[in-house]
């Protein structure tokens, strides 16, 4: 399953020293993934829309801010 480029919503704060959570639409539903920021200095609050830059199976993604 290719997650790179998919957008998701932050459900657990993502930031330096934190393992956050993001919900990503998959196969007609949504699934939770552990999330880290691509830039280790960035923070994302709950409710922020992010885009997946890297996926490390089985359930970890690295995210950046989604623009647009």
> How many percent of the chain have pLDDT more than 70?
99
For the segment 2-34, what is each residue's pLDDT rounded down to a tens digit?
999 999 999 999 999 999 999 999 999 999 999
Would you identify the CATH topology of the domain 7-65?
OB fold (Dihydrolipoamide Acetyltransferase, E2P) (2.40.50)
Exposed e or buried b for every residue in 3-38, given b needs 16+ CB within 10 A? beebebbbbeebeeeeebbbbbeeeeeeeebebbbe
Tokens read off for 3? 């997650």
Predicted structure pTM score: 0.93
Q: What angle do CA 38, 56, 41 make, to 5 degrees?
A: 15
Instruction: State the pLDDT at residue 8.
Output: 98
pLDDT at 68: 64
Q: Could you list the beta-strand ranges (E) of the chain.
A: 7-12, 20-26, 29-37, 49-56, 60-65
């Amino acid at each position: 399953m290719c997650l790179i480029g998919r957008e998701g919503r932050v459900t657990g704060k993502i930031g330096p020293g934190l393992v956050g959570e993001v919900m990503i639409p998959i196969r007609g539903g949504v699934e939770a993934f552990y999330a880290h920021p691509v830039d280790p200095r960035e923070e994302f609050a709950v409710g922020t829309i992010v885009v997946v830059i890297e996926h490390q199976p089985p359930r970890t993604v690295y995210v950046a801010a989604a623009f647009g």
